[in-house]
Amino acid sequence: MTADVNGQATIMVVDDALQSLRLMEALLSSQGYRVTALPDGEQALAAARQSRPDLILLDIMMPGLDGFQVCARLKADPDLRDIPVLFMSALTASTDKIRAFQAGGVDYITKPLQLEEVQARISVHLQLRRLHQQLAAHNAALEATVAERTRLLAEANARLAGLDQAKSDFLSVIAHELRTPLNGLLSVAELMLMDLPPTPSTQDYRRCFDASRDRILTLIEEALLLTRVEVKAEGLAAEVSPLDAVLHQAVETAEARASTAGVGFGPVPATVAVVHGDLELLVRAIQALLVAAAQFARPGTVVDLAVCRGDQVVELAIQASGYALPTAEVPRFFDLLSIAQARMTHGDLGLGPALARCLVQAFGGQVSVDNLTPPGIRLSVRLLRVS
């Protein structure tokens, strides 16, 4: 809003009747307003473009451009259209008032003018203009804030995408580059162990070597699979698989690792459910969870499986009794970098839980872990069921 040094509004009065013009100029000036008094429409338009007033009092019946034409041209100008125009006229017909509002006027004051009425209407419309300008400034600031937040969010997402790609690249490179030197080391160690005499000590060496070899090869394989799944996650949920086959194959492949710790698996629950997901990858996910659960089971116990079928999902519960997770580690159980935090008596959890979550989520499912009382854990898997 245009204002003088005292913060008072600028009002333009346009009237070809000089006596009326001077009267309004004197009245408004006495009220502290800054007044521009002009006798015709052309001068009013030129003055308005040069120094935009806060409000215009406009007579209708003028030679040359009448009030309707002046108002229409003001409203057609993007720089002037927001200025409120109050018409002053001796015309009292409804058609004239309607025409005034159609031209863009905000109010209509009939002559002879009542000065108190004029003051009151001017005050109301100036206050409305101030509120409108404040709202516009607030909206502009809000839009600028939203734009800035959107920019920062886009930058953060770009950084996260870069970090995620760097993580995937790192896993892929490390997994690939480790294979060549490892093959050499493992081959040499294998040959050396074969040349050792069969004694209790060498048998211990052999068991230690076999466990370490299997462990590192599993980590490399899981790292490569994690990378492949994260790159191609969008197309993985298109496949469907019978859950019964998934569970039987997963238990069969997990039994070898669990048996070394003296842990077995309960009977596989019968189910005819068909779920979304690639069979091979689902087997890998469930296998990883079964192996993880076995690490929380006491030797001589079994890991139990249960299936609950819902309208849209199938829930698989994998439950082990013996040990519980430290409370602080429960939220990080499936994190990629929690590989060493949740270390159990049979070794750390490796990439298995992170891989399982990555695979299950790629198929639209969910995984979670809970501690049990007496001590133990329950791994819950929710898979989308094929209708």
Residue ranges covered by each domain of the chain:
10-113, 237-384
Question: What CATH architecture is 10-113?
Answer: 3-Layer(aba) Sandwich (3.40)
Report the CATH number of the 237-384 domain: 3.30.565.10
Encode the chain in three state secondary structure.
CCECCCCCEEEEEECCCHHHHHHHHHHHHHCCCEEEEECCHHHHHHHHHHCCCCEEEEECCCCCCCHHHHHHHHHHCCCCCCCCEEEEECCCCHHHHHHHHHHCCCEEEECCCCHHHHHHHHHHHHHHHHHHHHHHHHHHHHHHHHHHHHHHHHHHHHHHHHHHHHHHHHHHHHHHHHHHHHHHHHHHHHHHHHHCCCCHHHHHHHHHHHHHHHHHHHHHHHHHHHHHHHHCHHHHHHCEEEHHHHHHHHHHHHHHHHHCCCCEECCCCCCCCEEECCHHHHHHHHHHHHHHHHCCECCCCEEEEEEEECCCEEEEEEEEEECCCCHHHHHHCCCHHHCCCCCECCECCCCHHHHHHHHHHHCCCEEEEEEECCCEEEEEEEEEECC
Q: Same fold for the domain at 10-113 and the one at 237-384?
A: no
pLDDT tens for the chain, 387 residues long, are: 444 433 479 999 999 998 889 988 998 999 889 999 999 999 999 999 998 999 999 999 998 899 999 999 999 999 999 999 999 888 888 898 999 999 999 999 888 888 888 889 999 999 998 998 889 889 989 999 898 998 888 888 888 777 777 766 766 666 666 666 777 777 878 888 888 888 888 888 887 887 777 777 777 777 667 666 665 555 555 689 999 999 999 999 999 888 878 899 999 999 999 999 889 889 999 999 999 999 899 999 999 999 998 889 999 999 999 999 888 888 888 886 554 444 444 456 777 898 899 889 888 899 999 999 999 999 999 999 987
